[in-house]
């Protein structure tokens, strides 16, 4: 479960006040809103990469507002994948497990198989397509079995065919990994294809 | 009512001819300078000049101090460059200006400031433990003061060009900020680090003013290659001055080529 309670942010051109919503455990939440309305900022607050002026962030009923990003159990897939440029795909996916000093080989192979990127494991990110990059970013975020998955416009740069494959993959992976997802987008199609719960940012507030 | 647009854009060749002419003029000055120096004396005389014990000592001291300075500069430039690129804090603009001071100050003034720093009670105390004034350590400190400023600038540009998002992702995957920088950002900044060290090395090789004032120009002690050029010129030994100058040109070109080769590698 992801819950925001009374979150307020004032940054640059936009302000969000009293943002309160819940995405129930196991649900696929889609947060919609126009460009520049603060969607990415909310994701960053959930991940712990940015502090809110006020309010609380709850992950599975645990208050993580003051926890550093690495202690929140939140997997993060940024817009362009933000792959690590010097690591191979295998090293990227196994990254979180290596940080935890856990064996990574089996989990990396499992995720690579599931995400259809097993043939890319020894490649580095340069030269990979947008769809491949997103699959790798997804595998990297899921490797340590987080309970929450935050996706920031993961499909915005993909062509129609790749997007269609990704819709199916995202739903399959979410169910297989049993994560609660929050997917930020401005695309109605993303919401129609994926959402169990739709949240909208309108006039500086989040409407369920 | 429709109108016919009779405007025709002018030719582009005057623009390119002007640019080519300006570039050629500047290139002619650079090449003319180097060519005149290279052909002033015979290779035999130049090689004989380079064989002198003093010049060999200066070459050794220059190469070793420049290398130490480049490494020390990198130790400072990586954290400071990171702070200036990624940090948001009050007084950042003032700090930015201060960091550029060694770049804009006249070299002699840097030497004088160092000399005066070591006349203060703290400076004297340091000098008693590690003697800097008029020693090889002074050569290093004078080179480092300027070289590090250039390395910091280079590292800041490097970090500015690296997206911060991968570092954020690494933190969500369980890294502390330090781990994220070490495991994700620094490996991606490797070329920038080499470039920063090279800039510091090349700057240090040509450093003269601060070394002259702070470390002196004592033969077989604090004499580096630029000092040699100055000392040989002052006693009228033009051939030795030219030989050392050409060696420095060759070293500088080698560093530039190495940097360019590394910068163009995909």
What's the CATH number where B74 sits? 1.10.3720.10
Option in B168, B179, B187 nearest A49 (CB) = B168
Predicted confidence (pLDDT) at residue B266 exceeds the cutoff of 60:
no
Report if residue B102 sits inside a domain.
Answer: yes
pLDDT at A194 over 70: yes
Residue in B173, B184, B187 closest to A96 by CB: B173
Query: Is residue B20 domain-resident?
Result: no
Please answer yes or no on whether A84 and B188 come within 8 Å at the CB atom. yes
Helix axes of B238-264 and B53-86: crossing angle, nearest 10 degrees = 30
Domain membership of residue B222 (yes or no) is: yes
- pLDDT tens, position by position, B17-48: 999 999 999 999 999 999 999 898 888 887 88
Min Cα separation B68/chain A (Å):
28
Give chain A's mean pLDDT: 92
Residue B166 to residue A85, Cβ atoms within 8 A = yes
pLDDT of residue B44: 85
Q: What is the pLDDT of residue B257?
A: 87
Would you call B112 exposed, middle or buried from its count of C-beta atoms within 10 A (0-12, 13-18, 19+)?
middle
pLDDT over threshold 70, residue B263: no
Please report, for the domain that includes residue A72, its CATH number: 3.40.50.300
Of the pLDDT bands very low, low, confident and very high (cuts 50, 70, 90), residue B264 is: low
Cβ neighbours, 10 Å, residue A168: 10
Residue B128 clears pLDDT 80, i.e. is over it: yes
Determine, for residues A72 and B169 on separate chains, whether the beta-carbon distance falls below 8 Å.
Answer: no
* Number of domains forming the structure of chain A: 1
- Domains: count for chain B: 1
Please provide the average confidence, as pLDDT, over all residues in chain B.
93
> Is residue B72 assigned to a domain?
yes
Q: Which pLDDT score is estimated for B259?
A: 76
Domain hosting residue B239, numbered range: 50-264
- ipTM for the predicted complex: 0.94
Q: Chain A: give the shortest CA distance to residue B170, in Å.
A: 8
Give a yes or no: residue B32 inside a domain.
no
Residue B2's pLDDT is 60
Residue A97 is assigned to a structural domain of this protein = no
Does residue A199 sit within a domain? yes
* Residue A37, pLDDT above cutoff 90: no
Rounded to a whole number of angstroms, the distance from the CA of B203 to the nearest CA of chain A is: 30
Residues of B in contact with A96 (CB under 8 A): 173-174
pLDDT the model gives residue B255: 83
- Residue B239 Cα to chain centre, angstroms: 27
- Cβ of B174 within 8 Å of Cβ of A96? The answer is yes
In a domain, A72, yes or no: yes
The band of B88, judged by pLDDT with boundaries at 50, 70 and 90, is: very high
Q: Name B218's Cβ contacts closer than 8 Å, sequence gap at least 6.
A: B134
Chain A residues inside the 8 Å CB shell of B165: 78, 80, 82
Average pLDDT over residues B98-107: 95
CA of A2 vs chain B CAs: smallest distance (Å): 16
């Amino acid at each position: 479960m992801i819950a925001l309670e009374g979150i307020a942010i004032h940054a640059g051109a936009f302000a969000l006040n009293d943002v309160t919503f819940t995405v129930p455990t196991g649900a696929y939440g889609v947060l919609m809103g126009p460009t520049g309305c603060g969607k990415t900022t909310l994701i960053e607050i959930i991940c712990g990469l940015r502090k809110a002026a006020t309010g609380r962030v709850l992950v599975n009923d645990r208050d993580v507002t003051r926890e550093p990003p690495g202690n929140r159990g939140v997997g993060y897939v940024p817009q362009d994948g933000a792959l690590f440029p010097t690591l191979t795909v295998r090293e990227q996916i196994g990254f979180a497990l290596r940080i935890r000093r856990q064996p990574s080989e089996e989990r990396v192979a499992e995720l690579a198989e599931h995400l259809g990127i097993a043939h890319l494991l020894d490649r580095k990110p340069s030269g990979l397509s947008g769809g491949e990059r997103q699959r790798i970013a997804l595998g990297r975020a899921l490797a340590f079995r987080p309970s929450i998955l935050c996706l920031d416009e993961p499909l915005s740069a993909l062509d129609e065919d790749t997007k269609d494959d990704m819709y199916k993959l995202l739903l399959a992976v979410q169910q297989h990994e049993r994560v609660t997802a929050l997917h930020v987008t401005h695309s109605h199609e993303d919401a129609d294809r994926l959402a169990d719960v739709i949240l909208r940012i309108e006039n500086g507030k989040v409407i369920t | 009512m429709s109108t016919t647009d009779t405007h025709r854009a002018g030719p582009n060749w005057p623009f390119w001819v002007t640019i080519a002419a300006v570039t050629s003029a500047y290139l002619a000055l650079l090449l003319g300078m180097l060519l005149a120096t290279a052909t002033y004396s015979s290779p035999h005389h130049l090689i004989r000049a380079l064989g002198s014990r003093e010049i060999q000592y200066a070459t050794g001291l220059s190469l070793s101090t420049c290398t130490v300075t480049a490494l020390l500069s990198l130790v400072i430039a990586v954290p400071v460059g990171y702070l200036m690129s990624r940090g948001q804090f009050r007084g950042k603009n003032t700090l930015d200006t201060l960091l550029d001071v060694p770049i804009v100050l006249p070299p002699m003034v840097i030497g004088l400031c160092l000399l005066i720093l070591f006349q203060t009670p703290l400076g004297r105390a340091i000098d008693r433990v590690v003697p800097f004034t008029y020693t090889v350590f002074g050569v290093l400190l004078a080179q480092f003061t300027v070289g590090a400023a250039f390395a910091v600038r280079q590292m800041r540009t490097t970090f500015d060009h690296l997206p911060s998002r991968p570092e954020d992702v690494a933190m969500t995957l369980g890294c502390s900020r330090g781990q994220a920088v070490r495991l994700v950002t620094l490996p991606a900044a490797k070329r920038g680090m080499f470039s920063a060290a090279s800039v510091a090395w090349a700057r240090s090789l040509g450093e003269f003013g601060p070394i002259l004032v702070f470390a002196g120009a004592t033969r077989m002690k604090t004499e580096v290659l630029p000092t040699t050029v100055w000392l040989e010129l002052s006693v009228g030994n033009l051939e030795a001055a030219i030989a050392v100058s050409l060696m420095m040109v060759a070293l500088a070109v080698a560093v530039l080529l190495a940097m360019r080769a590394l910068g163009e590698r995909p």
